[in-house]
Amino acid sequence: MVFGTSTMEFVEEEEQLGFDSDEEKSELSDDELQEAFAKGLLKPGMNVLVAKAKKSTNNVEGLKQCLAEFRKDLPWVESLDMTNLPAEDLISKADGQAPAGVNEDINADDDFQREMFFYRQAQATVLGSLPLLKKHNIATKRPDDYFAEMAKTDQHMQKIRKKLISKQMIMERSEKAKKLREQRKFGKKVQIEVMQKRQKEKKAMMSAVKKYQKGMTDKLDFLEGDQKKPKDAGQGSKKAANKKGPNAKRKFKDQRFGFGGKKSGKKWNTKESHNDVSSFRAKVANAKGGKGGKKGKGGQQNKRPGKSVRRKMKSRS
């Protein structure tokens, strides 16, 4: 038994930590511990049982001798063996990372790195062996018309091929499905935009027609509006209009009534609004007559001409 110590409070108990079950065990009793303490083997502090270092045979001399007796010094052609480091790691070089040092142990848990290491080692062997094989006239390329039994049957290779093809198909199908989904979303957006544009145009047309009907404008530009519209001016004015955003009326209503909340009773007066006289304009309220009232020569611009005049206009145009 080996006792290790640590600087903690003194505990006179047996600890199971670090106990290797390969060793022969002897259950430590309190008496034995007390005896050991009395003898001075135990020091104050927590005593922990530490596993003995396993003695493993490593008979280097024996190994070397055995190897010397056993080895067969055959020409290279017989054994075709080669000991070499892996070939250059082109992938990591291409990525810009520094290639792993020669002395570094490969991490056995990183599957990709490990397999690439094996692959590169095999590559280096092949590259090194090819000139030697050529020298001894041993071929590595099988000619196309040389038919012989292969390690895996043709049937098996067919299965492998089918599996690879099916994997590829699955991938392609999933790619296609993803693209379709994206397209559909995009298509929906485009459709909505087109509809909105059409509605806007219709609205503009209707309002232009109404204006003409009411006599506010006597230009018939809206009929040829689609072709004649100067694009820049049109777009410029549109942009300006868009800048102002929603109507002043709309803004006022939003401000007053907000969004959400109770549905009914929003347009009724409340105590505050009833008592609110800030929008009272004394001038406007007490003005008498204004623009000469409705009678007289007011409204000359917007006045609808009489029947005879209209008839004349019609016949004229």
Partner 1 sequence: MAAFKRKRGGQTLVGKKAKKVKIVADGADASIESEQENNNEITVPAPVSGGKWTNKERVLIFSSRGINFRTRHLMQDLRTMMPHSKADTKMDRKDKLFVINEVCEIKNCNKCLFFEAKKKQDLYMWISNSPHGPSAKFLVQNIHTLAELKMTGNCLKGSRPLLSFDPKFDSEPQYALLKELFTQTFSTPRYHPKSQPFVDHVFTFTIADNRIWFRNYQIIEEDASLVEIGPRFVLNLIKIFQGSFGGPTLFENPDFKSPNMHRREIRLAAAAKVREKQMVKEMQKTKRTEAKTDLTTDVTADVFRTPAEEKPVLIETEPPVPRVAKKKKVNGYIRQRMARR
CA–CA distance, 161 with 45 (Å, rounded to integer)? 68
- Whether 110 and 70 have beta carbons less than 8 Å apart is answered as no
**Helix, strand or coil, per DSSP, at residue 156:** helix
**Helix, strand or coil, per DSSP, at residue 54:** coil
The number of beta carbons lying within 10 Å of the beta carbon of residue 209 is: 13
CB of 147 to partner 1, least distance (A): 5
CB of 60 to partner 1, least distance (A): 5
CB of 101 to partner 1, least distance (A): 14
CA–CA distance, 126 with 82 (Å, rounded to integer)? 9
CB of 92 to partner 1, least distance (A): 18
Enter the DSSP assignment of 48.
E
Rg (Cα) of the chain, in Å, rounded? 49
Amino acid occupying residue 252? F
Amino acid occupying residue 126? V
CB of 59 to partner 1, least distance (A): 5
Angle at 8 between CA 6 and CA 14, to 5 degrees: 70
Q: Please identify, using beta-carbon distances, which residue of 148 and 277 lies nearer to partner 1.
A: 148
Phi and psi at residue 149, to the nearest 5°: -70, 135
Contacts with partner 1 by CB under 8 A lie at: 21-22, 54, 56-60, 62-64, 66-67, 69-72, 74, 77-85, 87, 105-106, 108, 114, 117-119, 121-127, 129-130, 133, 138-152, 156-157, 159-160, 163-164, 262, 265, 270-271
Q: Please identify, using beta-carbon distances, which residue of 42 and 133 lies nearer to partner 1.
A: 133
CB of 23 to partner 1, least distance (A): 12
Q: Please identify, using beta-carbon distances, which residue of 60 and 240 lies nearer to partner 1.
A: 60
Q: Please identify, using beta-carbon distances, which residue of 31 and 78 lies nearer to partner 1.
A: 78
CA–CA distance, 249 with 9 (Å, rounded to integer)? 83
Sign, CA torsion 196/201/205/207: positive
Q: Please identify, using beta-carbon distances, which residue of 134 and 228 lies nearer to partner 1.
A: 134
Q: Please identify, using beta-carbon distances, which residue of 141 and 294 lies nearer to partner 1.
A: 141
